[in-house]
Amino acid sequence: MSASASVFAQSFFHGTRANLRPGDHIVVGHSSNFGTPQPLSWVYFSGTLDAAIWGAELAAGLEPERIYVVEPTGPIFDDPNLTDKKFPGNPTLSYRSRDPLRIIAEVTKWQSHSPEQVRQMKEGLARLAREGGQPIID
């Protein structure tokens, strides 16, 4: 195994509508992909492409959906938004960090969820917001 292969034993992904380039950083202080107005104190990412696809598809904004391969620059933690009750043990490989994520590359070929699946997910998030639920534990 080459040295570079061992460095990237786990790939991480971030789905968004932000137009970024390799070498750029995703940093704390921005609102969430899901339109939460307050700036977040964490950056969120996943070890699965599917979770990043959801992030891109549900992201607020008018820019095209994008998925980036990212490299954490500091400590990472399980994302309690998914791992505490919904998916104990973190099978979704969902993480967060207070340190920037460095963009390594953009994933340009990926399969979207069906329009019906996206609609249902957006309706569920809207229902949660109407009921006063906090979609992001920051």
Per-residue buried b or exposed e for 111-127, using 16+ beta carbons within 10 Å of the residue's own CB: eeeeeeeeeeeeeeeee
Q: What confidence score (pLDDT) does residue 32 get?
A: 74
User: What are 70's strand-pairing partners?
Assistant: 12, 103
Highest mean pLDDT among 36-40, 80-84, 126-130: 126-130
What residues have CB less than 8 Å from 103, skipping those under 6 apart?
Answer: 14, 20, 21, 22, 23, 24, 25, 26, 68, 69, 70
Domain assignment present for residue 59? The answer is yes
Residue numbers of the domain that contains 39: 11-130
Q: What confidence score (pLDDT) does residue 125 get?
A: 79
Q: What confidence score (pLDDT) does residue 89 get?
A: 72
Domain assignment present for residue 137? The answer is no
Q: What confidence score (pLDDT) does residue 2 get?
A: 37
- Look at residue 129 and tell me whether its pLDDT is greater than 90: no
Q: What confidence score (pLDDT) does residue 1 get?
A: 35
How many structural domains are present in the chain? 1
Domain assignment present for residue 123? The answer is yes
Say which CATH number the domain at 23 has: 3.20.170.40
Q: What confidence score (pLDDT) does residue 4 get?
A: 44
Domain assignment present for residue 27? The answer is yes
- Look at residue 71 and tell me whether its pLDDT is greater than 80: yes
Domain assignment present for residue 138? The answer is no
Domain assignment present for residue 49? The answer is yes
**Which pLDDT tens digit goes with each residue over 53-64?**
999 998 888 899
Q: What confidence score (pLDDT) does residue 81 get?
A: 75
**Which pLDDT tens digit goes with each residue over 85-99?**
666 777 778 899 999
